[in-house]
Amino acid sequence: MTYLQIINELNSRKFKPIYFLFGEEEYFIDQISDYIENNALNAAEKEFNQSILYGIEIDPLSLEAEARRYPMMAEYNVVIVKEAQNLKQFEKLLNYVNNPSPSTILVLNYKHKKPNGRQAITKALKKNAVFFESKRLYENQVYEWLSTEVKRNGFTIEPKATAMLVESIGIDLSKLSNELSKLFISLEKGTTIQANSIEENIGISKDYNVFELNKALATKDVLKANTIAQHFGRNPKEYALPKILPMIYRYFSQLLIYHQYKGQPPKVLATKMGVNPYFLKDFEKAAYNYNIKKIAQNISHLRRADAHSKGIGASNLAVTEIYKELIFGILH
């Protein structure tokens, strides 16, 4: 089952006896687990029928005993095991997984690990539980997830605003979700989230961000690129080089892919680049200004700037100077 399929079932109160949630991406695991924790029982029922346990603190036999308890004046007995990957002798849950209590909702949060597919316990979970792998999203998938999440909450969002969020916050879904929550609280339903909304409610400048810097570099807007870079240099904590350089590097890597596949249909090209098709027209302009040879040179400039930021090859070089040299090298 997919994440949305699970959430839709939970919204319909179609609970299953066991949820085995595993994988690298914490966000989807937490969302499913938290939903069950907050909604399966009402406040009065939770007092006697909901247990929050931790894998490192419990053993399989005690957990099975907890899961076999009958609910008291409630439809379900809810047992949530956080950090279940730390549960020792996990395979001893096999008997319970093969014969779970129909009146219990057992949630196993098995983060940052993948179960051994050859073990009997894993095969039993695949057969008898909601067996959900929470995979980390690629960057292009994060854009899609963000747009879907915005739409699901009754809003729409401009591509530029989406890019600002991802460029500034990164692809950590939990952090992005927290920032989106601020917007959902502050704005009326049905609103289109714009760059101004991001600046006013989250504090990300609509003028001084990596998205605008890359756009200025793409069009060879010397004044704008240097103005943004100077602002970055004067605010090194907010615009730290280790955070900014990979984003510029990614942009030119995407531009390189554009050159390689520019004859492909827009949707195919955008997928290969990992970008929203809306931005292809910007890459078309950038490709005119930067051929493959120049892109390779720019990547070398970025690597040099990275080395300088670490004190290699230019000790005690100010951040403002590193930015200045980098922008000059890219534009000329």
CATH (domain of 162): 1.10.8.60
Q: Which of 90, 159, 157, 169 is nearest to 122 (CA)?
A: 90
Domain boundary pick from 133, 153, 168 = 133
- pLDDT score, position 168: 85
Do 10 and 122 share a domain, yes or no?
yes
Residue 22: enclosing H or E segment and its boundaries? strand 18-23
Do 157 and 277 share a domain, yes or no?
no
Do 183 and 265 share a domain, yes or no?
no
Read off the pLDDT band of 317 (50, 70, 90). confident
Q: What is the pTM of this model?
A: 0.77
Q: DSSP E strands: which ranges in 46-172?
A: 50-54, 77-82, 104-111, 130-133, 156-157
Do 111 and 164 share a domain, yes or no?
no
> Could you tell me the CATH number of the domain that includes residue 322?
1.20.272.10
Amino acid identity of residue 204, one-letter, is I
Number of domains in the chain: 3
DSSP symbols for 153-204: TT-EE-HHHHHHHHHHH-S-HHHHHHHHHHHHHHS-TTPEE-HHHHHHHH--
Do 73 and 108 share a domain, yes or no?
yes
Do 11 and 33 share a domain, yes or no?
yes
Do 81 and 109 share a domain, yes or no?
yes
> Could you tell me the CATH number of the domain that includes residue 67?
3.40.50.300
Instruction: Kindly report the number of other CB atoms within 10 A of residue 36's CB atom.
Output: 22
DSSP symbols for 205-270: -SSSSHHHHHHHHHTT-HHHHHHHHHHHHH-TTTT-HHHHHHHHHHHHHHHHHHHHHTTS-HHHHH
Cβ–Cβ < 8 Å for 10, 36 = yes
Res 67 pLDDT > 90: yes
Domain that holds residue 245: 210-331
Residue 61: enclosing H or E segment and its boundaries? helix 60-68
Domain boundary pick from 133, 148, 181 = 133
- How is the chain split among helix, strand and coil, in percent rounded to 5? 60, 10, 30
**Residue at token pair 């990547």:** 299
Tens-place pLDDT, residues 252-310: 999 999 999 999 999 899 989 988 888 999 999 999 999 999 999 999 999 999 999 98
- pLDDT score, position 202: 86
- pLDDT score, position 140: 79
Which residues fall within 8 angstroms of residue 190, CB to CB, at 6 or more apart? 154, 155
Distance CA 31, CA 194 (A): 26
Strands 192-193 and 130-133: unpaired
Do 190 and 90 share a domain, yes or no?
no
Do 262 and 325 share a domain, yes or no?
yes
- pLDDT score, position 284: 95
281 three-class SS: helix
Backbone angles phi, psi at 171, to 5 degrees: -105, 20
Distance CA 46, CA 157 (A): 38
Domain boundary pick from 116, 133, 150 = 133
**Cα distances (angstroms) measured from residue 212 to each of 106, 125, 206, 236, 277:** 47, 48, 8, 17, 18
For residues 198-226, average pLDDT: 91
Tens-place pLDDT, residues 157-189: 998 899 889 888 888 899 999 999 999 999 999
Do 91 and 109 share a domain, yes or no?
yes
The proportion of the chain whose per-residue pLDDT surpasses 90, expressed as a percent, equals 80
**Cα distances (angstroms) measured from residue 303 to each of 70, 267, 322:** 62, 31, 11
Do 174 and 249 share a domain, yes or no?
no
Do 167 and 105 share a domain, yes or no?
no
